[in-house]
């Protein structure tokens, strides 16, 4: 075996790892990355991109089915071609994987195909599925091995019937009656998508609201929309048991409320666990939490100097853009430009209407005992929303009552995943709520609801009935 030395070695080429490798090369380091599967990780192959490709067809179908609302008539049957939809998805996945490979080539990143395993600090063995293992050493190591879906022990293991998102984004046919276990982000995006494709959807969530990690008003509003579309939602309910029925073609489920329901497919969307087993972490002395995440400090460094962990594997925030931002920060820290990672990270949920959030929720701010003021603005009051007939939703802003600082922004409505960028930038700049209100927002847009909501948080809104009269001093 030959041993090659790199300045930085990255394990895993998801949105965390591939960006880290590119950043390292850009900064002049000799960089390598090991990937055991497709380039692009969960995000590109089983997550963000395939799910959004499917959702784009689902949303268009939903709009066409409701075209009358816009005064548009569609004659003949409105349908869809699942093969064509999945063909488009697969084509863009191939394109994007090729894009990552060319970026590596362009920047001189060495790409090793195979399973990377630590063999002591700064030493790695990369074993391809065929061919000999390669041993490398590295000055700095970045662990970017991501996460995998949680599966529930004891439930049927036939992946054609009881699936996780790994299978669901690549379904070759659609179920008729689908149970989604978990009303989190995957559960809600799939519920919305599948209902639009004509699937009878039931969601079972064990906590009292959909999207329980976000501001509670978002899940509540989404629940009303889902119910309006005929999506059956059980909250505060657990699936207690599951067994195959009808010769394996159906699944019988027992709920904690005593009901027994039958489905032809189940999507288990109850969270993800870190992909940190069989990585040789012990050999390097790297500690993990009880759940297998790799704890890091604000420089994204593990308990072993020079060994960093980014993205889903460190458990700080399981989102693609968080992984990429961690990747850049870890490399900058590894190459001596010490900088803590403190940026606010937005969340975007691609239901229709969309949901987006950044900063503290009302609940989190109250739990921290912060004195807060809340501003709200219904999107339906906006000229743009009325004109475009997208009147569902609201913007909610949280302000620190004493410092005036913007603490959080939460939205449900058309284009919410784009609108959140503006509030994220303001939060990143530590803007005050007055800064948000003073900013001029283009008219007519949905983003005007951000300004209106900020004004409401300051009790200065003009397009809502006054909460109380504020008399400005005259001539003073
Ligand atoms: P991953 O993307 O999981 O990549 C890790 C890579 O490491 C994988 O390619 C894996 O093969 C490789 N690997 C693991 N172990 C080894 C080893 N020992 N040797 C070599 N290679 C190894 N996030 C968003 O921000 N927006 C979304 O819209 C969104 N949608 C999603 C939809 C779904 C259905 C799912 C499941 C997730 C979604 N996510 C979304 C989350 C997002 O995909 C993850 O947060 C992101 O992919 C994490 O990036 P990562 O680089 O940390 O890990
Ligand atoms: P999640 O943590 O968002 O939701 C899981 C849900 O399942 C929770 O609400 C939980 O209370 C519920 N649950 C757990 N066990 C249950 C049980 N036995 N019965 C009923 N409900 C149960 O996780 P997810 O939806 O699986 O998504 C995984 C990760 O992928 C998330 O962390 C998310 O950040 C990421 N993701 C992001 C996007 C996006 O950004 N648009 C989309 C999809 C996934």
CA 170 to ligand 1 centroid distance, Å: 16
Same domain, 222 and 190: yes
Residue 476 pLDDT grade (very low, low, confident, very high; cuts 50, 70, 90): very low
Is residue 18 within 8 A of residue 40, CB to CB? The reply is yes
Q: Is residue 119 part of a domain?
A: yes
Number of domains in the chain: 3
Task: Tell me the three state secondary structure of residue 78.
Answer: coil
**317 plus 170 within the same structural domain:** no
Cβ(433)–Cβ(454) below 8 Å: yes
The pTM is what? 0.97
**Which percentage of the chain shows pLDDT scores above 70?**
98
Share of the chain above pLDDT 90, in %: 94
- Apex CA 321: angle with CA 83 and CA 46, to 5°? 30
How far out from the chain centre does Cα 319 lie? Answer: 4
Q: Which residues belong to the active site?
A: 443
pLDDT digits (tens, 9 = 90+) for 209-221: 999 999 999 999 9
| The token pair that represents 296 in the structure block | 């890091």
53 and 86 both lie in a single domain: yes
Q: Does residue 248 share a domain with residue 223?
A: yes
Distances (CA, A) of 436 to 288, 384, 407, 408: 41, 20, 12, 12
Task: List the CATH number of the domain containing 38.
Answer: 3.50.50.60
Residues 189 and 45 in one domain: no
- 393 in Cβ contact with 411 (< 8 Å): yes
H-assigned helices in 124-250: 165-168, 185-196, 216-228
Q: Answer whether residue 463 shows pLDDT above 60.
A: yes
Q: Does pLDDT of 121 surpass 50? A: yes
Q: pLDDT class for 378, splitting at 50, 70, 90?
A: very high
Residue whose structure tokens are 């497919």: 265
**Ligand sitting nearest the alpha carbon of 43:** 1
131-147 pLDDT, tens digit each: 999 999 999 999 999 99
- In a domain? residue 324: yes
- Give the distance (Å) from ligand 2 centre to CA of residue 150: 10
285 and 384 co-located in one domain = no
CA of 18 to the centre of ligand 1 (A): 11
Q: Same structural domain for residues 375 and 361?
A: yes
Q: What tens digit of pLDDT does each residue of 196-206 get? A: 999 999 999 99
The set of residues, in sequence order, having a beta carbon less than 8 Å from that of 98 and lying 6+ positions away, is none
CB 313 within 8 A of CB 141: no
* Atom number, ligand 1, closest to the C-alpha of residue 18: 51
Q: How many CB atoms lie within 10 A of CB 289?
A: 12
Burial of 433: CB neighbours in 10 Å, binned 0-12, 13-18, 19+ = buried
Domain region containing 293:
4-149+274-334
| Range of lowest pLDDT (156-160, 207-211, 350-354, 391-395) | 156-160
Is the pLDDT at 22 greater than 50? The verdict is: yes
Q: Is residue 464 part of a domain?
A: no
- Kindly tell me if the per-residue pLDDT of 112 is higher than 90: yes
How crowded is residue 240: how many other Cβ atoms within 10 Å of its Cβ? Answer: 11
* Residues 218, 264 within the same domain: yes
């Amino acid at each position: 075996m030959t041993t090659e030395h790199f300045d930085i070695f990255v394990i895993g080429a998801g949105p965390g790892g591939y960006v880290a490798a590119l950043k390292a090369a850009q900064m002049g380091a000799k960089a390598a990355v090991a990937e055991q599967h497709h380039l692009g990780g969960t995000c590109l192959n089983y997550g963000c991109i395939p799910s959004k490709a499917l959702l784009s067809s689902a949303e268009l179908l939903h709009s066409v089915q409701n075209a009358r609302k816009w005064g548009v008539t569609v004659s003949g049957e409105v349908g869809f071609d699942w093969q064509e939809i999945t063909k488009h998805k697969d084509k863009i996945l191939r394109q994007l994987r090729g894009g990552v490979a060319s970026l590596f080539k362009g920047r001189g990143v060495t790409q090793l195909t195979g399973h990377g395993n630590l063999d002591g600090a700064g030493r790695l063995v990369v074993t391809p599925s065929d061919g000999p293992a390669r041993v490398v050493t590295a000055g700095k190591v970045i662990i970017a091995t991501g996460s995998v879906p949680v599966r529930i022990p004891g439930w049927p293991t036939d992946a054609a019937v009881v699936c996780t998102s790994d299978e669901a984004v690549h379904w070759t046919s659609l179920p008729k009656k689908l149970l989604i276990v978990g009303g989190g982000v995957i559960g809600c995006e799939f519920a919305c998508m599948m209902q639009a494709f004509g699937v009878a959807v039931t969601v079972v969530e064990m906590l009292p609201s959909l999207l329980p990690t976000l501001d509670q008003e978002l899940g509540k509003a989404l629940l009303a929309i889902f119910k309006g579309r005929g999506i059956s939602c059980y909250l505060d309910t657990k699936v207690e048991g599951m067994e195959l029925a009808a010769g394996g073609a159906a699944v019988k489920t027992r709920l904690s409320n005593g009901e027994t329901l039958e489905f032809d497919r189940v999507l288990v969307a109850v969270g993800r666990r870190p992909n940190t087993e069989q990585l040789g972490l012990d050999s390097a002395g790297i500690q993990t939490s009880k759940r297998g995440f790799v704890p890091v400090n604000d420089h994204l460094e593990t308990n072993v100097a020079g060994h960093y962990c980014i993205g889903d594997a460190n458990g700080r925030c399981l989102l693609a853009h968080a992984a990429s931002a961690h990747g850049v920060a870890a490399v900058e820290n590894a190459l001596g430009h010490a900088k803590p990672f403190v940026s606010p990270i937005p969340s975007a949920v691609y239901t229709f209407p969309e949901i987006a959030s950044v900063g503290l929720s009302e609940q989190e701010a109250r739990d921290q005992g912060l004195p807060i003021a809340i501003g709200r603005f219904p999107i339906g009051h906006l000229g743009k929303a009325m004109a475009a007939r997208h009147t569902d939703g609201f913007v909610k802003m949280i302000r620190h009552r004493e410092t005036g600082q913007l603490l959080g922004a939460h939205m449900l409505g058309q284009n919410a995943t784009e609108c959140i960028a503006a509030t994220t930038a303001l939060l990143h700049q530590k803007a005050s709520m007055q800064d948000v209100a003073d900013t001029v927002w283009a008219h007519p847009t949905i983003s005007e609801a951000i300004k209106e909501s900020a004004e409401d948080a300051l009790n200065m809104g003009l397009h809502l009935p006054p909460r109380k009269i504020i008399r400005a001093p005259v001539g003073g």
